[in-house]
Amino acid sequence: MPRPIVRVALALAILCLPLESVAARATDSTLPPFAGAYQPRTVAERGIWMQADEDERQLRDSHLLIDDVALNAYVRHVLCRTVGDERCHAVRLYVLRIPAMNATTHPNGAISVWSGLLLRVRDEAELGAVLGHEFAHFEQRHTLALQHRRLGASDLAAWTALFAGGAAPLVRLITTANIYSFSRAQEGEADSLGLRFVAAAGYDPRRVAEVWARQMDEADARAAGRKQRSRRYDGVHLLDTHPTNLQRMTALRAAAATLPAGGVTEAVAYAAALRPWRAAFLADQIKLNDFGGTDYLLGQLAQDGWSEDLLFARAELYRQRGNPRDLVAAADFYRQALALDQRHAESHRGLGMALLRSGEAEPGRAELRRYLELAPAAGDAAMVRALIS
């Protein structure tokens, strides 16, 4: 390789090195002043904002949007407590019924929160950390910075194609890797500022890292349930846009240790706010056909005890998989749920179905008759009557 090309490659490779750690940036819990929402200044930036506005219109009109006033008000309350009222008023929040753990940020100030995230976090401190992370992307203009980096990389790739000869593919690869490395650095910056938001709001910053610890355990349980190898978390691929969950957990734990001890979690308030929706979110999770990951998640949610809705969800999970031993386990879980609430119609229905599939016809029909007594106008009433007869 010609010596000038070596120098170019080395210079680009240096750009791919990780930036300062989350722990180094999060030692101070005081927040920088809010500069306000950024306004696009160039033609390219206005184009980015136009696309973001169109994306937000689709969010606003989506059939996945949860328009429950109480739930939206509560999530916004956690966001505003986390980042402060001045920052909070600069963004719009959309809660979507999507059973995956995620939240997204648009450069114009639209933030979406997915129901799978609400199901998995345990308290306001954990939810605040995710919302603070997403707001940090908005405040630090990460989407805009990444777009400028991509444009710069395109220009560099065009010049190297002219002058680098046979080394052009290598330069393009390193340039591309630099973009992904920049994205990972942005994630670290957002983690750091999000953690500072949590601490400044009076939440316990030590809760934040546990979100990623449970995500790794759930992923391992999902892999085991699908008879797949558990993935490793101690290495990052050249073209990964995010640090690994292990890297995030380790960095956040180290950063939290540098912050003042104490803080609240508001776990009771969080559970109360989520209660009207938890059964629906659990039902969405069951439909994902992810036995291992879902069984792990249910066990985590039941750490303080198995409630009726969690027992019912676990019974549905086992009945859905449908092995003979699963049907026996499902029937037992339904009975445990009914011991807590004899009038839970869906548990009678599920138990009846499990017993019928296990060959226990008359006990199964008896449970289905009880289901119809409790829910005579159920949408599947005609089908259930046909099974009974």
pLDDT 10s digits, 268-285: 999 999 999 999 999 999
Same domain flag for 56 and 148: yes
- Domain presence at residue 367: yes
Which of 241, 257, 273 is the C-terminal boundary of a domain? Answer: 257
What percent of the chain has pLDDT above 70?
Answer: 79
Answer yes or no: do 234 and 362 share one domain: no
Tell me which of 27 and 213 has the higher pLDDT.
213
- Structure confidence at residue 237 (pLDDT): 56
Whether residues 237 and 148 fall in one domain: yes
Domain shared by 170 and 94, yes or no: yes
Has residue 325 been placed in a domain? yes
Domains contained in the chain, number: 2
Same domain, 228 and 377: no
Please give the C-alpha separations between residue 59 and each of 89, 187, 236, in angstroms, as whole numbers: 18, 23, 32
Distances (CA, A) of 102 to 117, 143, 242, 273, 349: 6, 17, 13, 19, 33
Same domain, 192 and 317: no
- What gap in Å lies between CA 222 and CA 293, rounded to an integer? 4
- Whether pTM > 0.85 for this model: the answer is no
* Low-confidence winner among 193-197, 246-250, 341-345, 352-356 (lowest mean pLDDT): 246-250
Give the other-Cβ count within 10 Å of 62's Cβ.
Answer: 14
Based on the fold, state whether residues 50 and 158 are members of the same structural domain: yes
Q: Which of 257, 283, 298 is where one domain is finished?
A: 257
Q: Note the pLDDT tens digit of each residue in 179-218.
A: 445 467 778 888 889 999 999 999 999 999 999 899 999 9
| Domain limits for position 205 | 3-257
Q: In the block, which residue shows the tokens 């506005």?
A: 53
- Both 221 and 349 in one domain: the answer is no
